[in-house]
Amino acid sequence: MVIGAGIGGLTLAAALRQVDFDVEVYERATELKAAGSGLGVLSNGGAALEALGLDIGLEKRGQILQRFGINDAEGNHITWFPIPELSDELGLPPTVVISRSALQQGLLEAVGDTPITLGAAAVGYETRPDGATVRFADGSEAHGDIVIGADGINSAIRRQITGPEPVREAGYVCWLAIVPFSHPNFETGSVLHYWGSGQRFGLLDVGHGQTYWFGTKNMSVERAADWQGTKEEIVQAYAGWADEVQAAIRVTPEKDIIAIPARDRDFLEQWGDGRVTLLGDAAHPMLTSLAQGAGMAIEDAVVLAGTLARAGDLTAGLRAYEDQRRERNRAMVLGSRALSEQEQLEDPGQRHERDEQLRATTYAAFAEQQRDVLTFPGIHV
């Protein structure tokens, strides 16, 4: 039983089908409708899918990354991140930038006729030596040999394992939207980030004439958690920024802009309880700075499916999966948090020092930092 039909849950359902497990998926939402945002499936995520022979047509559904640039707020170039070049050098799949809805559609096709029950909000579980029972808010129950909580940062399955625990607020809001958009300064296949004082903006080509953009701005935890501003506030926040930044905001209908707080959780050491475990954001929610949230959920799913397929004992297989994934995910959570702090700097001196360090980073140094990040570590039993 997979609790949650997000990227991690659907990838796991597809992966488990590949290794001949019967799967049922239970989702809190009453309809499967991906939010209007985008993401990157970096080379490690693509390699993980290939490891189980899962072809969901990423390159057709999204846009292969061709260049990744960092600029200042006015659009002056700071540096390129040579992610495509490094992936090519290592013989890895390309990074694909894709809308969340297009990725969801590919995963839904991969899960085929797997039963997906909507409107099923998990509230807790009971575990026993040969399986587990999940309780839902409407009073119903469902039983499985194993239960995987893939129900996101506010996971009910995690809450029972850990007890009450706070989310960690990063102190800024994220505005997100997808819109048809083109601009002379924004080439096909590009991802461009713009770094200002305590705020950022990103333009990402997700293919098919669509651009995903995000903006961030430091503010109080309370306001970020429940931002109720207007599009005009966002327009004013980026007044004087690069023309393409202002243009992307201008052409976006206010109703299509999503606002969410930047938050993660302190890293969890224990993911499992008997025949129950966690996956993706339920286990290790992270900030978006390393663009590895989706990649880690995909890796988790592939490793869990592969490990269970080779395990003689299901409970032991769950613990083996957790042991394989713990340190890699810890590194991503902490790395995303550290990069976020650098990206959101307000102090002019610190920002200048950061930008100069970026300008001085050589390809060799970048490759040394990113080689392991972009490489799927495989399945080990």
What pLDDT does residue 380 have? Answer: 86
Taking alpha carbons only, the member of 159, 174, 283 closest to residue 224 is 174
pLDDT at 97 over 80: yes
Structure confidence at residue 241 as a pLDDT band (50, 70, 90): very high
Residues 6 or more apart in contact with residue 7 via CB below 8 angstroms: 100, 103, 104, 107, 280, 294, 297, 298
Question: Residue 18 contacts by C-beta under 8 Å, 6 or more apart in sequence?
Answer: 52, 53, 54, 305
pLDDT at residue 350 greater than cutoff 80 = yes
Chain-centroid distance, C-alpha 112: 23
Average pLDDT over residues 58-69: 98
Question: Alpha-carbon distance 289 to 33, whole Å?
Answer: 24
d(CA 18, CA 16): 5
Task: Give kind and range of the element (H or E) at residue 100.
Answer: helix 100-111
Question: Predicted confidence band at 234 (pLDDT cuts at 50, 70, 90)?
Answer: very high
**Does residue 33 carry a pLDDT above 90?**
no
Q: Indicate the pLDDT class of residue 157, thresholds 50, 70 and 90.
A: very high
Among 379, 288, 332, CA closest to 100: 288
CA-CA distance, 191 to 40, in Å (whole number)?
10
Structure tokens at 339: 């990069």
Concatenating the DSSP letter of every residue in 82-137 gives -HHHHHHHHTPPPPEEEEHHHHHHHHHHHHTT--EESS--EEEEEEETTEEEEEET
Q: Please, are residues 12 and 2 in contact by the beta-carbon 8 Å criterion?
A: yes
Q: Are 223 and 173 in contact (CB under 8 A)?
A: yes
Q: What is the mean pLDDT of residues 47-63?
A: 96
Average pLDDT in the 46-54 region? 96
> Which pTM was predicted?
0.97
Domain ranges for the chain: 2-167+265-374
Beta bridge partners of residue 79, listed in sequence order: 70
Q: Let me know if 175 is exposed, middle or buried by CB neighbors in 10 A (0-12, 13-18, 19+).
A: buried
pLDDT-derived band at 125 (thresholds 50, 70, 90) equals very high
The 38-41 sheet, strands edge to edge: 38-41, 96-99, 63-64
Asked if 153 contacts 192 with a C-beta cutoff of 8 angstroms, the reply is no
* Superfamily of domain covering 2-167+265-374: FAD/NAD(P)-binding domain (3.50.50.60)
- Say if CB 19 and CB 308 are below 8 A apart: yes
User: What is the pLDDT at residue 35?
Assistant: 76
First to last CA, the chain: 22
At residue 381, the pLDDT reads 72
Amino acid letter, residue 240: G
Looking at residue 346, its pLDDT comes to 98
Distance separating alpha carbons of residues 282 and 4, to the nearest angstrom: 10
- pLDDT band, residue 36 (cuts 50/70/90): confident
pLDDT at 124: 97
Tokens encoding 58 = 């990423």
Average pLDDT over residues 288-308: 98
Point out which residues pair with 3 in neighbouring strands. Answer: 26, 149
pLDDT digits (tens, 9 = 90+) for 168-223: 999 999 999 999 999 999 999 999 999 999 999 999 999 999 999 999 999 999 99
Alpha helical stretches, state H, 200-313: 221-225, 231-237, 243-250, 293-310
- Look at the chain and count its residues: 381
pLDDT at 34: 76
Q: How far apart, in whole angstroms, are the C-alpha atoms of residue 329 and residue 266?
A: 12
Mean pLDDT of the chain: 97
Task: Return d(Cα 172, Cα 219) in angstroms, integer.
Answer: 5
